[in-house]
Structure 1
């Protein structure tokens, strides 16, 4: 069960700390508009409440929203959201998987074998100089296994599930019979550049996919009608589709500015505020991207089951020694499933050389650690990104010259937020 005012506040403003309460500014507990909500300490909230409402004496029922349902999914077709009982969802999924003409159970997971075959082929290509090292790492497979899930087909009787499948290309823009022509609404809380991007993308598709002039013209008319229904005015089409500047002059100007241009930043989008910030940063040649956040769809719709931590891959992790008197940490990264990497940390190298620093410490100090005490600090699918995040935590939290030294957070102001994030995630040892 979840109280409506807390749910609304988290959707628009973010996480609520455990020592704070959400207060109704006008005192009306049924007015759950975001402008009527504020955070107060528990003491101030109790002091503000009328005497009859302190404690549990208030007889007026508190409006709540039941999040008792266990599975919220996007519909197979259209922009609908489906709330379905988890046991019903599991039974329907099992009915699909029980069809032996389509699915067959495996005696063992073949992922490791396939990974070895692909890795050996890539290594042979690299040794023959058919590919370089960078491409080798880019093509190297991981052990992440695709997960099965189904989407409810609400237009059919008894709402069966349908596995995801890819479509096919053709020489005209194909739309299913159930296509709704619903695109990003023009009055939605998104940056204008995103809405113009919808027009650019759809009209680019209208120019590239249809193979005849008649089909292209028909697609353009269809898009103008559909987007007009979504609130797009004529000026938006003129603005989005106006001819671009001369590419040669733009390239020359970008080359001139490249020496002074700085790395871009991403800001959460807040209407009328983010645009002003973007203009200010633009005056200093700092590119800004605006990202909408905290939508109800992001909060509720999660069709895939969460991967257990021990099976997560492409992560940056921290190992906390189990001994209560040991102040040592180890920070590492891996593209393997976490449980496999922890198994490797507990055994010596097969060659007897370059043993893991974790194994060396466990052997010398006769200490140990449990997989459940390993903390996942970050996720990153690309190796360069994992490397940068690894050293971000390592430089901030430990002496990198020797992984097994006492934790020594740097005094640099730039590392302060990373230290707080690490301390928040790291399990605290008992006193």
Structure 2
């Protein structure tokens, strides 16, 4: 079933709808058991009343935005989430792992560039699910064989599964004294990029000094192949530090703008063009040098009669940090830029 509502709104609406629908349902098709998780419902009703109950549920929604469909018990079994509920001949039920027909048993490949503990975590997750869901030992053994076969296809050697089983059977002892708890308390978390063979050694070093480590991939196929947004043109970028060089000397102008780089560059060009179009004599040029101009670029052009290399203007950094009151932090030119 589906709904155009938000997840939170849908859940609240579903609670109201199911309470109303169950309370108003005819006695002949009223469910004896109703258990829902998000949009999956497990129900127990009389035989032959499934169609009547489904029709009643779909008529109970005044917005007509939620539609119920159903799947009946087949061969004494019915799936619910990742659990397969099986009816036994004596009337009791047992639980097994349920996989859809489209399930491929594809897990993280053992040859993937990931830390070993993440690969062991895949094994632990599958074994924990087997122990917590499957109710009978015979079915647990069958499920474990299925897990071993699937992981073997993904390149996992047997020693990895045996290691996880051993760790599960002999968990680490809990700290009993306050001294032991304080000694094992981490001093912080360090996130490092994962490089096979190097990151594990760094983690051991950090552990000696009481720091926990987390590893993340620094280069993934998603970063290489997926680009959901078009690349922003240089003249469209805002909140930048830019440099405009002089064509006739090694000096350059470094400025900062919160608007787009293209707009700010055009403003510089228009102001300089005003003075470039004028014919200066020696006396008028000397007097114009004392005038207050809008930028140091204009001051440089008027004083030296140099040309500006507009086509070589470029962005040297991004500056988007703001203080708590919304004003911009001053940017320090600490990289040795030359300004007019």
- TM-score (normalizing by structure 2): 0.41
- TM-score (normalizing by structure 1): 0.33
Structure (1/2) with the larger strand percentage:
2
